[in-house]
Structures are given as structure tokens and as C-alpha cells.
Amino acid sequence: MRRLLSLAFLLAGTPAFAQTRHDSTAPINFDAAHIELQDKANRAVLSGNVVVKQAEMTLTAPRMTVAYTGQVVGGSPQVSRLDAAGGVTVIRPGQVAKSQYGVYDLDKRIVTMLGAVSLTQGGNTVNGGRLTMNMDTGRAVIDGSSVAGGAGGSAAGGVVTQGGSRVSGTFSVPKRN
């Protein structure tokens, strides 16, 4: 049985946890030790302490593949997807998520993180196998299994294994008089 935990209650109701809508149309700036352009495949492979920034969100990983459409607007190819591997961190205002793999689908405005996921926001931490963040709504959902239907599977060219299929975490409690 797949267990889901919606973290929407963390994101709403408390001003410290409120998330603003992410601007997925903002330019994407990157920094890496190496870039390999594969124009015929419409992609670029970034490696070596990769840092990608868009608006108030930062993604870091040892390696990222940037997929882009064949369209060029204003002299720049239109990025459609980022695939990150090797230990991924996504930082948004007041929120840090970590995993083994990550995918940012710019068309759907969804970030999916797989394998040994942790999401920290304020004093709250939730751990699981897969995290899905909707950049429009700020809603985050974590489930225990990194692959639908159970442990094991492939993601971003590697194998993700997650035992137990449970979500765990710690929620902070405000001090009361």
C-alpha cells in the first residue's frame, strides 16, 4: 500500500511556511566545471559542482542534463527539463529538499525528487522515497516509495532502492505559555 503525506498544511496557514508562486519563466542561470553541448539531441550535459538558479530557487548536483526544445527565442534555446543526479539539493525560501535524483519539468512546473528524500522547512523535517513539488501552488507531496508499486527501479539512468515504503519525520511544536 502506497502511503502519501501531503505537506500542504506546512505550506499554508502559517506565514513562516507560506510559499510564493515560483516564476518558472525567469531566466535559468548555471555554473559548472564542464559543459558538453549535444545540439543534435537538443541537450546539454553539465558536470562538476553544478549550480542552477531560477528566480528564488537554486538546484545543485554533481551532474545535470538540460533538455531543450528545438525552438530558439531571443537567441536562447527553450529549456524544457532538467535532470540532476549524484546528490541533488533544491533550495527555496525557507525550504531545503535533498535526494539522489531530481527532475524539474519546466513545462508542467513540477520538481520530482527520488531516492532518500528529505524535506526541511523551519523545524519540520519529512523523509521518504519520492517528493513532488508543484511550483505553481507550493504544494509538496512525499511518499515512502521512490518508485510506484514498490522499492527498486530506475531513475535518471541509475537504480533507486528505497526500503520500507514509509514516510517519517519530525514536526516542531511552538512553545506555549
Flag whether pLDDT at 74 surpasses 60: yes
Residue 7: name the closest of 110, 97, 126, 94 by CA.
126
Which cell numbers hold the place of 166?
514509509
Domain-by-domain residue ranges, the chain?
A: 4-29+79-170
User: Mean pLDDT for the chain?
Assistant: 81
Question: How many residues are there in the chain?
Answer: 177
Q: Rounded to a whole number, what is the distance in angstroms from the first to the last CA of the chain? A: 41
Q: In this structure, which topology does domain 4-29+79-170 adopt according to CATH? A: lipopolysaccharide transport protein A fold (2.60.450)
Q: pLDDT band at 19, cuts 50/70/90?
A: low
Which phi-psi region, left, alpha or beta, contains residue 152 (left: φ > 0; alpha: ψ -120 to 50)?
A: left
Of 4 and 80, more confident: 80
Q: pLDDT band at 176, cuts 50/70/90?
A: confident
> Which tens digit of pLDDT belongs to each residue from 101-128?
999 999 999 999 999 999 999 889 999 9
* Residue 146 Cα to chain centre, angstroms: 13
Flag whether pLDDT at 138 surpasses 60: yes
**Angstrom distances, CA of residue 95 to CA of 27, 77, 119, 162:** 21, 29, 7, 23
Of the candidate ranges 2-16, 45-59, 72-86, 90-104, the one whose mean pLDDT is the lowest: 2-16
Q: Looking at residues 57-70, what average pLDDT do you find?
A: 94
Q: What is the pTM of this model?
A: 0.77
Q: pLDDT band at 62, cuts 50/70/90?
A: very high
Cα–Cα distance, 92 to 90 (Å, whole number)? 7
